[in-house]
Structure 1
């Protein structure tokens, strides 16, 4: 009796999921397609890797671009705070704000010490800055360095070496910047380099021929150079005598 029942009831081999009941059987075409995909991945594993790397690179580049935009905006904000402090004659605070603005812009110019991958992403982002962004970076740098020199010249003990450095940075961006030429002349004068002082002061005079401060420093510089040359002539006479 048991054998009759077993013979008349054929067993159906159905795949059963542990939690979701029977799984639908795959068609022959679907099975062949899946096998082809598996073979392709085994034969060309780098294909999937490249697409993933490209996607990651694109995401990283977009993130770097957003980071650059944020840095530029922060720099502009710090510069504005520096201007406010300068107008209130809080020169030390103004100097701090201008330095913080410039630190933000160093991120745009690829500061040393970043990892190789970060440099690549930043490089790509910097190359994609719009013309307005590039102009904003340059304008912010010029204004910060220019106002830093103005703050330093208000100090009781002026650091003329630093004044010279900042003026030259401004002139590297804008060669005809009148204040930078004039202040560079003052810095070189107080550092004892009268030839350089006279050169920058004359350049400033060409921009503003009637500026009394420029004319006064030109006169002072020429007097110093005259005294130096007179001393040199006297020392030469003593040596020859």
Structure 2
């Protein structure tokens, strides 16, 4: 890249989230290292807004956290009786009706859903702790590059809760049901080597090389034609929900679109 995304004016910079765009690459940065990028409803709303602000030119989105930890999970203030200022506490949520509770959690989940849009490829650059909501935010991305000091952990079950920020589906898809259950039910740490060998992470590098490794991966992704990447991503994302024959048909249809596009032939 000719210039760093961090050298450009941010499109968003609030509530612990900064969005910068450098042509085809967007960078979403968690910006509260003093609290190990702990998460809150305000941060989730900012992440949702970042997704809505992405220009159409963006092809790759990098998610990173400032400081020694990617994200240590939900801010501990959430577990106090008063919760966050201006936000319903967990106690308030529990006392509300089913519809209101479901709608609130669905709103929180929006921060974790847009990373797998078909028109972008998202990469989580993960160092240090990625716990609970931090783990789930890394799982929200298409790809994960981790530093050799990474520590993934899903602690919700240990607290009497469940992972509810869209992390269970990708976790099972990446490591399988049995390992996913064991990781969630025990709350144990998953380090860099295991994360790569189990498919949780694509690559592990020394912490000092994390940013460079992510830049190299982004460049490699950008080398392929955009429409071909979009079609390929859609094929792979839908494969687990299709039968073998349905996937064959989807491949044929996608290839037909690509051939017609390359030949300049309208459908």
- TM-score, scaled to structure 1: 0.29
More strand by share: 2
More helix by share: 1
- TM-score, scaled to structure 2: 0.27
Q: Which has the larger radius of gyration?
A: 1
